[in-house]
Structure 1
Amino acid sequence: MAAQHLTAALLLCEVVMEILSWVPAKPVTRLKLVCKSWNSIISHPHFVKHHLHRSPKNAILLFTRTPPFPRDEEKKWGLVLSSVESFIQNPSSTLDAQENRRSLHVEEDWVVGSCNGLVCVAILGHPINDIIDIWFHLLNPLTGFISENSPCLRVNVHTAFGFGYDESSDSYKVVSTTTRGSSGTVTTQVYSFGGSSWKRANSFPAFPFSFEDNGHFIGGTLNWLGLRNPHGDDYDWAAVTLDMLMLVSFDLKSDTNKQILLPKGIDEIPAQEPILGVWGNRLYLLHDYKNTHFIAWQMKEFGDENSWTQLLKISFHHLGVERLFLPVFIFENGNIFMLRGRHRFEEDFYDRRDNSVKRVNINNLDFDAFDYVESLGVGPAKFRSL
């Protein structure tokens, strides 16, 4: 009889867990207050991962008002969460709306990336002779938990970063790539949150175009567009040749890197520096063609270089611009491209389904956007409540 009661209790627990796993993240956090057993279920790491797996992907955007690097002490910024639909319909109102803001406000730092509902934030010291101290922590905007700071990383200001998740070790990692002046050497260091130190990894064969270009996370890897043997970070794009351009992919499991071939259809160097991005769990490469057209490539199967597909080619004339302002975000499975407009605080939305262009004023708002999914996770690092 006791065994039957135990079996029934376990079955009831499994049923409750199954039902709760379909409830959106925000309301499920309130359900912790129903009873101790529900609190135990919702707080369990297995449930957190199960719930994240069932959460809708790429339905939410996280916006930050990010000061330039080195930071501008005059600027303050916070985190704004929005549905894709709301932002497309009215970007300015969405970013200004108080109901979209979390009580968590981050000042003077900047967001490196977002993964599984956790946001990686860098805390910047003051640069001295181009050397800067940086600390990193994770935060969950939904639950209000924040991790302890990472050990200090001392690098020069010509450093790019990336943030992602290593499923094999259940760890979140931040990666730094630092150029070494005229030698062109790129030093790579990795920190696993919850650890006590940074560790060196194999040097990159190329360095990212810009230290403001965060690594793009997909398939357990961080990816950058870079230049091979540019003789330092002070390069002239007009002197760059096609064989110098490469895509470097860093594997977070093995802490090693490899090259991914560019689309075979690229037969000449673009007039402007191209852009790499990950949207909707697809890798994109975006560039101009002869300063007259905008081209977007999509890698349909990550890691398969033969799956590069030219998604669109559109003239600047049709977009109503004289020069290309590459996309800052892509929506609706690669159908809608948000382009920086002719003016700093203007956005153009190009919809390739009907070949239309919509121009929107964003009222002097300067921001960065990230894919974001609400989750209950706190990660393996030690967290505290704000």
Structure 2
Amino acid sequence: MAIVEAEIVEGGRWKFAANYDIIIDGCLPRELTLEILLRLPVKSLVNFKLVCKSWNYLISSPDFIKSRTRSSNNPTLTLLYDRYCMQLYSLNPTVSRENLSFHNNEPKFYELIGSCDGLICMYSPLEECIYIFNPLTKETKKISTPYHKPARCFLEIEGVSWFGLIPSINDYKIWLVVRIPKLNLRIHVYSMRDDNWRELDTISAFRFIDDARILFWGMNAVEKNETLHCSFEYDYNEFMVKYDLVQDIIELERINLNHNQDIKYKNKPSIGILKDSSLCICKVHALKGVMDVWKLDQYSNSDSWNKLFRLDLGLLQAPWVFLLGFISNGRILVRSSSDELVLVDLDQNPPLQVRLGTLVNKNNSLFDLLDYSESLVSPFSLP
């Protein structure tokens, strides 16, 4: 290694530095090399690991990977996943086919559980297992389900299942909501740090509901304040399920959306987070083509749900409309029976409707929404 004297930028000020190791092929101080690499696309970093041992060591270091993953230079892609065709579509900014390869590129049926830090978590019904994998680096980690008799327990994974990071305890968790034939609904939580499953007491949590199996169909879960939230309607009343990811406590509370009964909704509600970090609930009437949206003004007060507006989905010229759910930055994706997609931005006043395009020959497909960002995080490094 050559030794030189150089000037570098540190904390916004120029600072004199001496005796820095220099990458021979670049003739740059290590700090400048680091700053440049942190601004490069993640796909490029995978190739740059082959340049030399120093770059490979730097790019592969846990601190570098963490900094690059949390960087504002790491864009988020909104993907629409076709369960039956194993195809991903990118919605940034229009509908286009995304060549994001799945585990081993095998033509198997998978159900998405969630995505976090460039890792995708999915369930394989054929193998009765869960995979966590990085599509960019092709690393895959296999996790057994909490059930050990596949012939008896063919699981139906609900859309409300979730995968993500809990920063305060440095742990990744899987929230797995399943229904088993002839049995009740079950909820299991897997901790990466502890490497074990724990079943939640749903009988006590939903003790006043006759059949909890009907609750989560078509719903979604969203994380706020390290707590999962999902809403549902039962016997003409609205409820919120809250699961504390740190304390490992589940509770159920009744909420009041303060709306009249002029519309009977056929679709399940979807819950999301607006740009101001407020919780938001959305319902769509399939035949009338209208969408109602409520906002929780005070997080600590479950009675402070206020209706924001009712929106006429006029861009969708079709007999049926379906709510696909929330995506990043408080936006909502709606699909028509003719497979036309419209993005609704709730932070505009009035809400902005943008036609994204049409999915071809997808009438019989089921879709999941996925916010995904590329990273170098290895599933074997969690946590």
Please give the TM-score of this superposition, normalised by the length of structure 2. 0.71
Counterpart check, 1:295 vs 2:295: no
Q: Quick one: structure 1 residues 61 and 350, their matched pair in 2 at CA, closer, same or farther if it must change by over 3 Å?
A: closer
Residue 309 (structure 2) pairs with residue 315 (structure 1) = no
Q: Does 1:84 align with 2:92?
A: yes
- Match of residue 221 from structure 2: 215
Q: Secondary structure at the match of 1:28?
A: helix
Residues in 2 aligned to 1:307 and 1:56: alpha-carbon distance in whole angstroms? 36
Taking the aligned partners of 2:297 and 2:61, their CA distance within structure 1 comes to 35
Q: Distance in 1 between matches of 2:371 and 2:330?
A: 14
Identify the residue that residue 52 of structure 2 maps to in structure 1. Answer: 35
Alignment of 1:1-386 (within 5 A): 8-9=20-21, 12-56=29-73, 59-67=76-84, 76-79=85-88, 82=90, 84-85=92-93, 87=94, 91=95, 94-95=96-97, 100-104=98-102, 105-106=105-106, 107-125=108-126, 134-153=128-147, 155=153, 157=155, 160=158, 161-178=161-178, 186-193=185-192, 196-203=195-202, 205-206=205-206, 207=212, 209-211=215-217, 213-226=219-232, 240-242=235-237, 245-259=238-252, 262=255, 264-266=257-259, 268=261, 270-278=264-272, 283-288=279-284, 292=288, 293-299=290-296, 310-315=307-312, 320=317, 324-330=321-327, 333-334=329-330, 337-343=332-338, 345-350=339-344, 353=348, 358=355, 360-365=357-362, 366=365, 367-380=367-380
1:294–1:324 Cα contact (<8 Å) kept: no
AA paired with 2:374?
A: E
Structure (1 or 2) with the greater helix fraction: 1
CA 1:49–1:152: 2 relative to 1, 3 Å: same
The RMSD of aligned alpha carbons is 4.1
The secondary structure found in structure 2 opposite 1:37 is: helix
Aligned-partner SS, 2:100: coil
Distance 1:263 1:118, change over 3 A: farther
Contact residue 342 and residue 353 of structure 2 kept, 8 A: no
Distance in 1, Cα, partners of 2:130 & 2:39: 32
The structural deviation recorded for 1:304 is: 6.9
- Displacement, 1:330? 4.6
Secondary structure of 2:322's aligned partner:
coil
What is aligned with 1:73?
Answer: none
% identical equivalent positions: 23
d(CA) in 1 for partners of 2:344, 2:190: 38
Supply the distance in 1 between the matched residues of 2:301 and 2:52 (Cα, whole angstroms): 48
Whether the 8 Å CA contact 1:113–1:214 is kept in 2: the answer is no
- Structure 2 distance, partners of 1:224, 1:321, is 29
Larger radius of gyration: 2
Query: Distance in 2 between the 1:306 and 1:37 partners?
Result: 57
Q: Relative to structure 1, is the Cα distance of residues 311 and 377 closer, same or farther in structure 2, using a 3 angstrom cutoff?
A: farther
Is the alpha carbon distance of 1:171 and 1:188 closer, same or farther for their aligned partners in structure 2, counting shifts above 3 Å? same
Shift of 1:306: 7.6
Shift, 1:359, TM fit: 7.7
In the alignment, the residues of structure 2 paired with residue 368 and residue 124 of structure 1 have an alpha-carbon distance, to the nearest angstrom, of 16
Shift of 1:151: 4.5
The structure-2 alpha-carbon separation of the partners of 1:58 and 1:248, relative to structure 1 and needing over 3 Å to count, comes to farther
Q: Secondary structure at the match of 1:326?
A: strand
Please report how far the alpha carbon of residue 101 of structure 1 lies from its aligned counterpart in structure 2 after TM superposition: 0.5
Structure-2 residue corresponding to 1:234: none
Q: Contact 2:134/2:379 (CA < 8 Å) preserved in 1?
A: no
- Partner deviation per Cα, 1:121-153 (whole Å, 9 max, x = no partner): 10113xxxxxxx731110111211111333453
State the distance in 2 between where 1:14 and 1:44 align.
14
Unaligned runs of 5+ in 2: 6-16, 23-27, 207-211
TM-score using structure 1 length: 0.71
Residues 95-122 of structure 1: CA distance to partner in whole angstroms, max 9, x if unpaired?
2xxxx30344352222111111110010
> Structure 1 segments of 4 or more deviating over 6 A?
4-7, 180-183, 300-304
The amino acid across from 2:337 in the alignment is R
Cα distance in 1 between the residues matched to 2:75 and 2:252: 27
Provide the rounded CA distance (Å) in 2 between the counterparts of 1:212 and 1:274: 6
Change (3 A) 1:188 1:28: same
Q: CA–CA distance in 1 between the matches of 2:301 and 2:375?
A: 30
Residues 145 and 63 (structure 1), Cα distance of their counterparts in 2 relative to 1, 3 Å cut: farther
Kept in 2: contact 1:271–1:291 (CA 8 A): no
Q: Deviation at 1:316?
A: 5.5
Q: Does the C-alpha gap of structure 1 residues 347 and 288 become closer, same or farther in structure 2, counting only changes over 3 Å?
A: closer
Specify whether residues 163 and 364 from structure 1 end up closer, same or farther in structure 2 by C-alpha distance, changes over 3 A only.
Answer: same
The alignment covers a number of residue pairs equal to: 338
For residue 158 of structure 1, report the CA deviation from its aligned partner: 5.5
Q: Quote how far apart the aligned CAs of 1:276 are.
A: 1.9
Inter-CA distance 83–24: structure 2 relative to 1 (3 Å threshold) = farther
User: CA offsets, 1:18-49, max 9 Å, x none?
Assistant: 33222222222222122222211211112211
Superimposed CA distance per residue, residues 265-294 of structure 1 (whole angstroms, 9 cap, x where no aligned partner): 345584224322436775431114797531
CA contact (8 A) 1:159 1:211 kept: no
Cα distance in 1 for partners of 2:236, 2:91 equals: 41
**Aligned partners of 1:376, 1:307: CA distance in 2, in Å?**
41
Question: Any conservation in 2 of the 1:270–1:288 contact (CA below 8 Å)?
Answer: no
Instruction: State which drifts further: 110-119 or 373-382.
Output: 373-382
